[in-house]
Structure 1
C-alpha cells in the first residue's frame, strides 16, 4: 500500500502551501506555550493518588520520557519538516496505513485538548464574573482565537510568544512570593499516597498519577506541525525543542515543589487552581499578589489554548492535503495563507464537545477529565508510532538527510518507546471506558480510510513524502 498515493501524482503541482515566516524564538514560544497551561492546573490531581513524593517519582519518569522523546522526535521533524508532523513520519516509514494511525491519534490529541482548556478558561472567567456561563465563555474563547489564527501565522505566533513570556513570568512570581514560607517538611508530610513511609501501595498511586504528570508536558510535539512555516526548520526547530523541554522541566519542578512546601498540600490536590490556593497560605486571600496571580494566570491557559489551535489546524490541513480527510479542508486562505477551513472544522468539534455533557460524561468522570484523558490517549499512541517510525527509517532509509540526529541512539528513542508503552498500559487499566471510546474512534476512522482510497490517489503531490 505504500505506493498507493504515488501512482497518479506525476506532473501535479500543489496549491496548498503555507507561508514560511516563523523564527527560532517564535517556535520556542509555540513549544512552551502549547504546554504551559499544564503548570497551572491538572497536575495537582496526581498528589491525590500518589502523594507529593510519589508524584515526584512519577513526574521525573514522565519528564525523562518527554526529554528522550523530544531529542528523538527532533530527528524526524528536521528530516521531514511537514505540517502533518507524526502523520508524515509514519507514512514515510510504514506507508498509508501507518500514516493513518499516527494522523488519527495526533488529531484526537490536538482536537480534544483545546475544549478541556477552554472549559478551564470559562470556569476561571465565571469566578471573576459569576453571571457568565462557563460554557458560553469557552465558546467565546474558541471564536476569538480561531479568528486570530486565521488572520495570519506571523501574528498568531507573535501573540503566542508574548502570552508565553507573561505566563512564565507569572510562574516565577508565584515561586518568589511563596518562597518565604517554604518548608520542606510541608512537602514531605504524608508524601507517599498520604502516608509518611513508602509501601507497596505507593506503587499503585504512582501509576495512577501518570496522566497528571503527562499533563505537565502534553502537546510540546505540536511544534512539528509548524515546520512548514519555519524560515529555517533544520536549525530553528532543534533549538526550539531542546530549549522548550528544558524550560518546561525546570518550571514543572519549581511550581510543584514550591506549591507543596507552602502549606498543607492535601488542600491543593483535588482542585483546579492549586497556585492561587498555595499563595493564600503565605499572603492571605486579599493580598494584591493574590489578585495579580488570579488575573495573570489566564495567560497560561490562553497560551496553550491558542497554540494547540495552531497545532490541530495544521494536522487537519496536512491530512486533508494528503487525501486522508476531505480535500476542501486543505484549502489555504487566499490572503492570509492560513488553513482557515481546518481551523474552523477543529473548532466546531471542540465547541460540540464542550456542550456534549451527556455523551462525554461517563465512567464516573467529569466532562473535563474525560476530554483530557481522551487527548492523552491520542498523544501516547502517537509517541509510540513516532518512535517506531524513527527506528524503521534508520533501517529503511539510512541515506535520508538528518540535520539533527537523536543523541545516544538507540537508547534515547528506546527509553521513550518503552516508557510510552508503560503509560498506555496504565491508561487503559485506569481508564478502560475512555480507552474503548478511543478505540472506536480509530476503528471508525479506519473504515473511512479504507473507503476513500481514491482521495489519496488523486491528492496533490507532496514532495516531502515521495521517494
Structure 2
C-alpha cells in the first residue's frame, strides 16, 4: 500500500511493487487457463454439448460485463485484499467480511481441484503414481516457488501460461483432421438430438462448470498492490485476458466435442488427452506431448491461484479479520509465506476429504469445483453492489478506469450472477449448506474478534 496508508498504518506490512503489464496479463490468463483443460466437461453430463454451449456463452457474456465493471474497482482501490477492500469501503466491516470470506473460499478450494487434475494427467503417463500423492507434491513445489518471490513467481507464471496457450492451439490442430460437427451435435441437448423444454434444467445445472472456464480471473485484483502502474496495466491485463480466455474456451470445447463420442469425455478430469486418443490412438507421440505440455495449463492456474489466496489471507489478517500471524512478510523474500502455507494446508486436507466432500453422487473434483464457484458468485454479487454503492457514496473518488455502458454492464453482471446463484443453490443444495456453514462459522469469529480489530483505517477504508 506504500503511501496509501492512513495515520497509524505506516507500520503495516506492505508488498513490493514489481509487476508489469505483461506479467499481470500472464496472471490473468494463467489463473484461469486450467479451466480450459478440465472441469468444464462435467457440464456435458447434464446439458449435452449444445446445451452447455448456450450456458457457456451466457456465462462468457456475464464475465465480460463483470470484468469491464470490476476493473473500475481494481484501479480505484489497488489493494491486496481485492473484493474485500472494495466491499469494506462500500459497506463497512461487515461487507468486507462477507466479500473476503467468499473470495477466500473461492481461492482456497480451487487449487485442490486443479491439483487433482495434475495428478490425473500424470497418472496417464505413470499409471502407478497415485493422483493424490502427485497433487500434494504439486502443493509443496509451488508453495515454495511462491514463497521465493513474487517477481520470480510472476515470470514463471507468464512462461507456463504462454506454453499452455500454445498447447491448446496444438490440441485443436491435431484433432481438427478428425473433427466432425455431427459428433459435436449428436445428443447435444441433454442426450437428445433436438431442443426441448426438458433440456433447460440440464443447462442450468451446468452453470458451475461453465463458470469454471473463467473462474478466478478476478484474482489479478489481489496482485494490484504489487503492480508498478495499476491504473494503466490492470485494465489492459483484464480486457486482453478475458478476450484470450473466451476464444480459447470456445475453441477447446468445440474441437473436443467434435473429436468423437463426447459422452466418453464427461465426468473425467482429463478430457483433452482422452479426446486426442479418439483421433490419434493411445500410443501416438502427440498424446504424450499433450500430457506433458498440458500440465503447463494446470500448473499456471494452480501456481497463480496460490498467489491469489495468499494475498487474500494476508490482507484479511493485516486488517484484523484473521489472526495477525498470517500477515507476516518473509524477511528475505518479502512474500506472505505464512499465508501461502495456511492455504496449502486447507487444500491438502480437501484432497483427502473424500467421505466429506463426495456428496450428492458427484465426484470429489466436481464438488470442490462447485464449492469454489459458490464463493466466486457470492463475491461477484457483492462486488457489483459495491460498485453501485461507491458511485453514489463516493462520487469524487479517483476512477482511472470507469465501467463502460454504466449502469448496464454492471447490472447485467449482477443479474447474471444472481441467476447463477439461484440455480446453483437449487441443484447443489447440500454443497451450498456447507458453504453457508463456512460463512456462518467465519461470521461468529468475526463477531468475537470485533474488539481486536483496531480503529485505525487506511485511506481505502473510508467512503
Per-residue CA distance 1:78-132 (angstroms, 9 max, x = gap): 0000000000000000000000000000000000111111111122223322332
Q: Is the 2:120–2:269 contact (alpha carbons within 8 Å) kept by the matching residues of 1?
A: no
The CA distance in 2 between the partners of 1:264 and 1:364, in whole Å, is 23
The structural deviation recorded for 1:209 is 0.8
The CA distance in 2 between the partners of 1:38 and 1:55, in whole Å, is 15
Q: Which runs of 5+ in 2 are unaligned?
A: 1-5
The CA distance in 2 between the partners of 1:277 and 1:433, in whole Å, is 31
1:390 pairs with one of 384, 387, 391: 387
Q: Is the 1:43–1:216 contact (alpha carbons within 8 Å) kept by the matching residues of 2?
A: yes
- Counterpart of 1:41? 38
Alignment of 1:24-423 (within 5 A): 24-423=21-420
- Counterpart of 1:465? 461
Q: Which segments of structure 1 move beyond 6 Å, counting only runs of 4 or more? A: none
Per-residue CA distance 1:52-91 (angstroms, 9 max, x = gap): 1111110000000100000000000000000000000000
Per-residue CA distance 1:324-361 (angstroms, 9 max, x = gap): 00011111111111111110111111111112222222
- Counterpart of 1:21? 18
- Counterpart of 2:423? 426
Per-residue CA distance 1:384-418 (angstroms, 9 max, x = gap): 00000000000100111000000000000000000
The CA distance in 2 between the partners of 1:358 and 1:269, in whole Å, is 22
Name the SS of the counterpart of 1:463 in structure 2.
coil
The CA distance in 2 between the partners of 1:37 and 1:124, in whole Å, is 12
The structural deviation recorded for 1:461 is 4.8
The structural deviation recorded for 1:445 is 0.5
Q: Is the 2:9–2:458 contact (alpha carbons within 8 Å) kept by the matching residues of 1?
A: no
The CA distance in 1 between the partners of 2:11 and 2:378, in whole Å, is 30
The CA distance in 2 between the partners of 1:341 and 1:270, in whole Å, is 35
Per-residue CA distance 1:162-217 (angstroms, 9 max, x = gap): 00000000000011111122222221222111111110011111111111101100
Alignment of 1:2-21 (within 5 A): 10-21=7-18
Name the SS of the counterpart of 1:63 in structure 2.
helix
Change (3 A) 1:36 1:347: same
The CA distance in 1 between the partners of 2:357 and 2:261, in whole Å, is 33
- Counterpart of 2:3? none
The CA distance in 1 between the partners of 2:47 and 2:435, in whole Å, is 26
TM-score (norm 1): 0.96
Q: Is the 2:259–2:276 contact (alpha carbons within 8 Å) kept by the matching residues of 1?
A: yes
TM-score (norm 2): 0.97
The CA distance in 2 between the partners of 1:353 and 1:279, in whole Å, is 30
Q: Is the 2:39–2:366 contact (alpha carbons within 8 Å) kept by the matching residues of 1?
A: no
The structural deviation recorded for 1:455 is 2.6
Change (3 A) 1:103 1:12: closer
The CA distance in 2 between the partners of 1:211 and 1:391, in whole Å, is 26
The CA distance in 2 between the partners of 1:357 and 1:253, in whole Å, is 32
The CA distance in 2 between the partners of 1:221 and 1:14, in whole Å, is 28
Number of residues of Structure 1 aligned to a counterpart in Structure 2: 458
Bigger mean CA offset, 262-271 vs 88-97:
262-271
The CA distance in 1 between the partners of 2:280 and 2:124, in whole Å, is 20
The structural deviation recorded for 1:231 is 0.3
- Counterpart of 1:446? 443
Q: Is the 2:39–2:369 contact (alpha carbons within 8 Å) kept by the matching residues of 1?
A: no
Change (3 A) 1:280 1:91: same
The CA distance in 1 between the partners of 2:354 and 2:458, in whole Å, is 40
Change (3 A) 1:313 1:370: same
